[in-house]
Amino acid sequence: MTWKTANGDFTADQMVKVDFVLPEFTEKVTINQPFHVCKHELEYDMIIGRETLSNLGIVIDFQGKQVIWNDISVEMKDPTLFDIRKNLYSLAMQAEPEVCQDILD
């Protein structure tokens, strides 16, 4: 399957069903979703598309700078925080300091 994007064509030739959680909202709900698998080196572990976001009922509110799912609101992160690995680690430490500390030990 090939998609046309602003960054050029994107091709995936395999699919896999993935169980995942959205821990910033809740760890009590596991989502089972098919994903296309690509061989390209990407900046992201996974990309959740508009169709899946819509099916899950996720609301992206740019004016309010929040994402809402099942009546739980999460503040949008500053996108520049994801530019540097150090910033990603800092975000992870804020979200789950005990897990990150285990990795350091």
Q: Are 71 and 86 members of one domain?
A: yes
Ramachandran angles phi, psi of 16, nearest 5°:
-145, 145
Residue 14 parent element (H or E)? strand 14-22
Q: Are 20 and 69 members of one domain?
A: no
pLDDT digits (tens, 9 = 90+) for 51-73: 899 999 999 999 999 999 999 99
CB atoms within 10 A of CB 92: 13
* Domain closes at, from 57, 78, 96: 57
Q: What SS3 class is residue 24?
A: coil
Q: Are 68 and 82 members of one domain?
A: yes
pLDDT digits (tens, 9 = 90+) for 12-37: 888 899 999 999 899 999 999 998 88
Q: Are 49 and 67 members of one domain?
A: no
What pLDDT score was predicted for residue 74? 94
Q: Are 49 and 65 members of one domain?
A: no
Q: Which of 18, 91, 7, 77 is CA-nearest to residue 42?
A: 7
Q: Are 65 and 52 members of one domain?
A: no
Residue 46 is part of which domain span? 1-57
Report the domain count for the chain. Answer: 2
CB atoms within 10 A of CB 67: 20
